[in-house]
Structures are given as C-alpha cells and as structure tokens.
A = this chain, B = another copy of it.
C-alpha cells in the first residue's frame, strides 16, 4: 500500500516539482493541500485525473492518514503549519528557512522576525542526508536545506574537516542561480524582459543562506565571502568556490578527499582531471556534481559545484528526506 503525503504550496515551483516527483514515486501518492482559497485553476486537458485534493488542515491530514506533509511555503507560513501538523502526529518536511538555523537569535538576525516556535526550531533535524543521515529517520520535523547551502556545504564540508583550506586567507563562494529560485510570485525582478540577456548580483555578503553554510560547514563568517547572482535561465545553481591551500599538491588530492567522503553517496558525483560540471549536467536530477582545479605551485584552488535548485536544492532533497522518514530506500523515486 502506498503512503499518502501532502504538499502545501503545490502551485509554486518547488511544490510543482514535489508533485512531479511524487507522481512517479512507486510507494508514495501525493495529496494536494489547498492552503489559499484559490479559484481552482482549470485544466486545459479534456480528461485529467488529478491527485487527491484536501483542505490544508491538520484535521484533514489526520483523517486521511497522511504519512507526512511537505511544506513548500514561505518561512512565516511554515512555522504555523508545522506546529499544527505535528500536533496531530503528522510528520513534516519543511522546504523554507523556518527551521534551519537552530536558535531564535540566529533566525532573528537573518530573517528579521521573532521565531514563533522556538521549541520546534531547536528540535528540527537538518535535512542534508550526506552529513545528517542518522538523525533524520527519527525526526518529526526536518528542515530541508536551502539551495545555495546544499551545494556549498557539499563542496566545503569535507575540505574543512580535512583541514586543507588556509582559512585565514578566506573562502569565496561566487554563486549563480536560475530564476526559479526566486519563486513563482510575479515581480519585476523576475519578469522576462528584466532578466533575459541580463545578469546581476544581489545580497552581496548578506544573503540569508550564509548562516546555513557557516553552521554546518564550520567556517567562520569572517572567513566566508558569498555573492548570489541571477542567471537568465530557469533552473540550476553553479557555485565557483575559491580558497588557498598550502597543504595540497594536486587536484587529485582534493578529489581523493571528496571520494573518501562521497564514494558511496548516490547523489554526489565527482569529476576528474581538472574537469568541472556545467548546469546541463545536473538539471532535472537530484545530483550534486563537483569538480576541482588546483595549481600546486601557488596553492590556488577552485571548486565548482552544481545542482538543480528545484531538485537537490529543494524538492528532490525533500523527497530524499521523506524517504528516510518513511523508512523507504533513500533514492526511491529520485533516479
């Protein structure tokens, strides 16, 4: 028998992607939870049997025996919804930033609001399976990582742990994202004519995703320079990461460190020979691809990490976490 799993925010890009993935999942059926009183969008197709739709309430979720709900909603909405679903015993994977930062102080600094559920914030498991796999299956509430931090942490954490980065010289993460990362709500900044043939930087040194990188990679804020930039394309994140290393002699040593960490990981792929991924390599997949370039003479290192912001950076990773919670194979529905 299949699990029923609710999706809130199914009209946004992450929610649509959750729906798409779960439609092909062999052991989970999606249920669309109507949060806003939308005028029901009409289907263009003659006959279309859609998934079950329910009102977005804890009662409905309980009554229909939902195994979990996925929240693809803004942080302030997620906070309230998570409380309501957890209170009736329905597990939650939240795709917003609501539960990622562990402490109310941290949340307040970066999201400029008081956190209304500090106990849940403390309780939430961070859903980066490659590093937090053991805690997730037992969690009631999983905070799905941000898109930028997913790539940055997968690229940086093994190197920080191995102690090969000259941290006082600093680490630069120059990040570029497709427009779907900004969500589906219309705005001038994501209008076609403003984005096409354009490229722009935003939130330089101040992006909300910075603390997630710091907390989970162990880097200090003073060591880390992060810029987010908007690519004129739909989906994909590519991060070009720069640091120095006096300890390394070759790119192969860097790949070896990654290999030791990720050799058995189903969703991390490594590139050899100085080659690096482009966005095409990862679009519409749950992979994080990593390649490196290193100059042994001068110690300059460049790591390129790429993900699809809507898959490994959002919905795909959420399903990975969902599989863990529901004791399904972690890759189910994702390969």
Contacts and interface: CB of A to CB of B under 8 A. Distances in A.
A278 B189 CA distance: 12
Q: For chain A, what secondary structure do more than half of its interface residues adopt (helix, strand, loop), or is it mixed? A: mixed
B190 A191 contact: yes
A238 B187 contact: no
Contacts of A300: 170, 205, 222, 225
Contacts of A131: none
Given A188-B186, A192-B179, A225-B300, A199 B271 contact: no
A72 to B, nearest CB: 15
Interface string A164-181: 000011101010101110
A238 B201 contact: yes
A137 B272 CA distance: 45
Nearest to A230: B278
Interface residues of A, number: 73
A44 B274 CA distance: 9
Nearest to A186: B186
Interface of A: 13, 42, 44-46, 168-170, 172, 174, 176, 178-180, 184, 186-188, 190-201, 204-205, 221-222, 225, 227, 229, 231-236, 238, 240, 242, 244, 255, 259, 269-281, 283, 289, 291, 293, 295, 297-300, 302, 304
12 contacts: A42-B273, A44-B276, A45-B272, A170-B244, A170-B300, A172-B242, A176-B176, A186-B186, A191-B191, A193-B234, A197-B235, A227-B242
